[in-house]
Amino acid sequence: MTTVLKNVFGPYKACAPLSNGNLIVTCSSAQQVKTLLSCKNLSNGNKTVEVETSSLKPVGAKGAIYNVALEISTDELVEGLAGQKVTFVKRFSFRCKESSEIRDSKSVFLQFSTADLPAEVKLGYLLFRVKQYIPKPLRCFKCNSFGHVASYCRGRERCSNCGGEDKYNECNADTAKCPNCGGNHSANDKVCPRYQRETEILN
Ligand SMILES: [Zn+2]
Ligand SMILES: [Zn+2]
Ligand SMILES: [Zn+2]
């Protein structure tokens, strides 16, 4: 089978059988991926077999490092992390509770090329512990529903803490009531079943 693949598609990086009988092929170029995905059958001269192909999501691990001084620019981060299997770097931002401004945070997102998350990365002389990053679902700041942002919101304004019509930074409610599920937690609490479902979709 592997010689047939090589003859048809040219040299590829790797090919391994999966337990379900499928073959996983690591291509050596984007063009090869395209050719392989459009393939409907394979022939080795006297025998032709029908095949079904699909692509897999990239498997690189997602991580985050914390307490990274704000003076360090993204370029410096990219440069400093070169050679540590980091393919993408992005500093997280957050909305300031008092002024509603968007500000840079001291946490930095790291996309790795490998499936395994390294325990730490080096930045010059500094060592940062790497934690697994679980993406947060997109939540509207206005109505607190998932899947859209406030500028596209068609819902009415709801408090993320109590689900009422007040603003969360002026909220006086004694107990939290989630605007999405009615449970006694705020809309951005990880215990919320709606939040968990949205997070699952992202992973
Ligand atoms: Zn909304
Ligand atoms: Zn409230
Ligand atoms: Zn909830």
pLDDT tens by residue, the chain, 203 residues: 778 888 888 888 788 777 777 888 888 777 888 888 888 888 877 788 888 887 776 578 899 999 999 999 999 999 999 899 999 999 998 888 788 788 999 999 999 988 889 999 999 999 999 999 987 788 999 999 998 888 899 999 999 999 999 988 889 999 999 999 999 999 989 899 999 888 876 65
Cα(173) to centroid(ligand 2), Å: 6
Cα(192) to centroid(ligand 3), Å: 4
Residue with tokens 């406030």: 150
For Cα atoms 123, 126, 128, give the angle at the middle one, nearest 5 degrees.
Answer: 80
| Residue 83: partners with Cβ closer than 8 Å, 6 or more residues away | none
CATH number assigned to the domain with residue range 62-132, chosen from the 4 options 1.10.10, 2.30.29, 3.30.70, 1.10.3470: 3.30.70
Cα(140) to centroid(ligand 2), Å: 15
Domain ranges of the chain: 2-50, 62-132, 135-203
Q: Which of 182, 162, 180 lies closest to 171 in space, CA to CA? A: 162
Q: Are 94 and 103 in contact (CB under 8 A)?
A: yes
Helix (H, G, I), strand (E, B) or coil at 126: strand
Cα(178) to centroid(ligand 1), Å: 14
Q: Which of 199, 158, 196 lies closest to 177 in space, CA to CA? A: 158
Q: Which ligand has the shortest distance to the CA of 163?
A: 2
Predicted confidence at residue 165, as pLDDT, reads 92
Report the predicted TM-score, pTM, of the whole model to 2 decimal places: 0.51
End-to-end CA distance of the chain: 33
